[in-house]
Structure 1
Amino acid sequence: MNKPLEGIKILDLSRVLAGPLGSMQLADLGAEVIRIEAPEGKDDIRHWWPFVDEESTYYLSANRNKKSVTINLKKDEGKALFKKMASKADVIIENFKTGTLDRLGLGYETLKQLKEDIILCSVTGYGQTGPYKNLPGYDPVIQAVGGLMDITGHPDSEATRVGTPVVDIMTSHYVAISILAALRKRDMNGDGERIDLSLLDIQVASLGNIVSSYLLKGHISKRMGNAHGNITPYETFQCADKPIMVAAGNDRMFYQLTEMMGHPEWKEDPRFKTNADRIENRTELRELLESEFVKKGADEWEELLSSAMIPCGPVNNVEQVFNHPQVRARQMVQNSSHPTLGEIKTVRNPIKFTNTRVEATSHPPILGEHTEDILMDYGLSEKEIRVLKENGVI
């Protein structure tokens, strides 16, 4: 069965998370993604705890459906080898510090001479321009600088980073989206493209309604814990056993909530009749709701409120997530075979087509696993490959 990106060749020079996650999405959709790594394996993500045998679970999470070739780009022979591969590639992804690719003699203008319609996607912390362009940018730093940390956490606590590397994850989506758009543009007019993605730009753009509230109203949002600044009740409540998240996003849902809790009089209370009223009197409303939620378990409340189509759910840990009946029904875990680990489990790509299966067809590659096979595909002989190895080029 053909996949949407079959026939597209991507050379992935990126490391750690944002770039590799983006190229993995493209690999899941059928692109041939070849990781280009240093022979000594300098990608930090390969060395991050925890490990299964000697393989980092962090690395395994971001690199399925790819191949791995080792090339020393600091050596002239390595640069020549990379150029040979680039001349037949559609896309190159990199996340070196700004200017590094140019200093290596492998910048966009050089790549265009090798292949006029090449697409180069560069991912950096702060972008290719501006006073911060040469600084490194890691996810938690960008969460801080980009405003996300300031609005995350409880009002009386310190600013808090989101529990996952959410800026890297969001950036990976823009990696895939921008490359798909560039490929579409190339199909229409034959032009290549230089893509400049900044983690900070993406974080700022992803503040959503927080940005709109500031730009249009001058409102500076503050931390509100699990509550919502513009809607209530839209937060967690402690039940008899564990917390539950309730998102009564409109008046109808709130009225249904009062019925389910056995207090229909609350919807007639002038303090709570509209969302604006509830925002103004959120402290009093929360106290009333808390006194009721602690009378039943979270699962019991979920069943009761869901029957009235009120969005809600218990606060699950990751084990509970993968035991959740909906997650199991959606088959969000998939198995694949690994040459040293045997059968491994990974989370499934969430895209579900009607006519195309999106799944793990190959394991995250061991460092340099495909070097010899791919170089032979490019016409190198076994002797030439042996010499390159002896000289530390691959």
Structure 2
Amino acid sequence: MLSGIRVADFSRVLAGPYATMMLADFGADVVKIESPSGDDTRHWRPPVDARGRSTYFGSVNRNKRSVVLDLADAAGLAEARRLAASADVVVENFRPGVMERFGLAYAAVRAANPGVVYCSITGFGTGEGAALAGYDLLVQAVGGLMSITGDPDGDPAKAGVALVDVIAGQNALAGILLALRERDRTGLGQLVEVNLLQSLLSALTNQAAGTLATGVAPTRLGNQHPSIAPYALYRAADRDLVIAVGNDKQFAALAGVLGGGTLATDERFASNAARVEHRDELRARIETRLAAASAAHWVAALTAVGVPAGLVNDVGEALAYAEALGLESVAEIADAGGGTSRTVANPIGLAAAAAQYRTPPPALDEHAGADWLPS
């Protein structure tokens, strides 16, 4: 689908490499430009794979070619400029001002390459926040996510993965594809700007909307939902499960499975608003019943009557669960040495142009001297 699209990828770590990997999965030729020391994530270990390579780096760099260019060196910088002048897409996530110093900012690249789609990913934009470091943890803190994550009486908590970087990478992917579509119409490229803070604020969706409408910021509710009950983590006889009731019909089905006597007729639980108001009493009633059997028992019984419920899986269990559902969530990539490596599959399913897993993450400067740069 993206065959013939060349991407000059100057990005490092996560948000940019995630976006360019998604492009590469659908056929784009992504040339990853690295410093002599390589992308920082090459050195983020453990864990490592069977060949001792950082799994962090590997998670977002398949299907790419790696070329080392020292932008502080005149020859390296000249090659970088030639690549940018030939590329359909340029992606960078340096601090604002860095690409200008190298003559690789959008205005300079556009002058030589009017059709270029130039995607710049920053932490806090190019205005007053330009000097701020764009680290995911920092953005989760100042962007409000940590204030609504964690137990009510505990500390604010970050998500267990660099979620803001991933969201920003998805936004970058969408922006690049939109700009390429517009280029099909006009022949001209454009600047695509994505920053981590706005990506997070947009992803706060209902929580941000509620704050704007009421002027009241939400607080931490642990694993409970601010607007729905029962919609939380519960303890069964052996392990945790979640129950996610979204309407009165599902609640009636839940009450039937639990056999809670007056649970279905108690006025405190007669509507979602009432259940939210009396969530503590409702929780106590539910967990008393759940203690009588295993979590797997309750998940099976609730699922059978249409009540959303599931075990709290670890990552390995989650991958196995997806496989059991018939989802192709893991793919294999053949290594040059004849072995294979496993990778999490691209989540976008296109009937006419499926993602391809052609090459494993490249070794540093693996493609030096190859035909990667036009004459």
Please give the TM-score of this superposition, normalised by the length of structure 2: 0.96
User: Helix, strand or coil for the counterpart of 1:363?
Assistant: coil
Does residue 90 (structure 1) correspond to residue 88 (structure 2)? The answer is yes
User: Unaligned regions of 5+ residues in structure 1, if any?
Assistant: 380-394
Does residue 159 (structure 1) correspond to residue 156 (structure 2)? The answer is yes
1:273 match: 270
> Offset at 1:117?
1.5
Q: Matched residues in 1 for 2:210 and 2:232: separation?
A: 20
Q: Report how many aligned residue pairs link the two structures.
A: 373
Q: Matched residues in 1 for 2:207 and 2:258: separation?
A: 32
> Offset at 1:325?
5.8
Spell out the pairing of 1:20-31 with structure 2 (5 A cutoff): 20-31=17-28
Asked if structure 2 preserves the Cα contact closer than 8 Å seen for 1:128 and 1:196, the reply is no
User: Helix, strand or coil for the counterpart of 1:372?
Assistant: coil
2:331 match: 334
Select the residue among 315, 336, 360 that pairs with 1:318. Answer: 315
2:70 match: 72
Question: Residues 325, 78 of structure 1: CA spacing in aligned structure 2 closer, same or farther, 3 A cutoff?
Answer: closer
User: Unaligned regions of 5+ residues in structure 2, if any?
Assistant: none
Q: Matched residues in 2 for 1:300 and 1:175: separation?
A: 43
User: Helix, strand or coil for the counterpart of 1:335?
Assistant: strand
1:229 match: 226
Q: Matched residues in 2 for 1:263 and 1:39: separation?
A: 65
2:32 match: 35
Asked if structure 2 preserves the Cα contact closer than 8 Å seen for 1:234 and 1:247, the reply is yes
Please give the TM-score of this superposition, normalised by the length of structure 1: 0.92
> Offset at 1:328?
6.0
> Offset at 1:341?
9.0
> Offset at 1:322?
2.3
1:58 match: 56
> Offset at 1:80?
1.4
2:345 match: 348
Q: Matched residues in 2 for 1:33 and 1:106: separation?
A: 17
Q: Matched residues in 1 for 2:107 and 2:265: separation?
A: 68
2:195 match: 198
User: Helix, strand or coil for the counterpart of 1:271?
Assistant: helix
CA RMSD, Structure 1 to Structure 2 (Å): 1.4
> Offset at 1:199?
0.3
User: Helix, strand or coil for the counterpart of 1:359?
Assistant: coil
> Offset at 1:191?
2.0
User: Helix, strand or coil for the counterpart of 2:62?
Assistant: coil
Question: Residues 372, 84 of structure 1: CA spacing in aligned structure 2 closer, same or farther, 3 A cutoff?
Answer: same
1:371 match: 368
Asked if structure 1 preserves the Cα contact closer than 8 Å seen for 2:86 and 2:374, the reply is no
1:148 match: 145
Select the residue among 105, 108, 117 that pairs with 1:107. Answer: 105
Q: Matched residues in 1 for 2:170 and 2:140: separation?
A: 17
Give, as a single letter, the amino acid of the residue that structure 1 aligns with 2:371.
I
Cα shift readout 1:200-231 (whole Å, capped 9, x = no counterpart): 11111111101111111122111011100100
Give, as a single letter, the amino acid of the residue that structure 1 aligns with 2:124.
Y
Q: Matched residues in 2 for 1:360 and 1:138: separation?
A: 29
Spell out the pairing of 1:152-301 with structure 2 (5 A cutoff): 152-263=149-260, 265-301=262-298
Q: Matched residues in 2 for 1:113 and 1:76: separation?
A: 20
Asked if structure 1 preserves the Cα contact closer than 8 Å seen for 2:27 and 2:356, the reply is no
> Offset at 1:339?
3.7
> Offset at 1:374?
2.5
- Range 9-18 or range 116-125, more displaced: 116-125
Q: Matched residues in 1 for 2:53 and 2:125: separation?
A: 31
Asked if structure 1 preserves the Cα contact closer than 8 Å seen for 2:260 and 2:289, the reply is no
Asked if structure 2 preserves the Cα contact closer than 8 Å seen for 1:332 and 1:348, the reply is yes
Percent sequence identity is: 38
Give, as a single letter, the amino acid of the residue that structure 1 aligns with 2:116.
I
> Offset at 1:11?
0.5
1:389 match: none
User: Helix, strand or coil for the counterpart of 1:319?
Assistant: helix
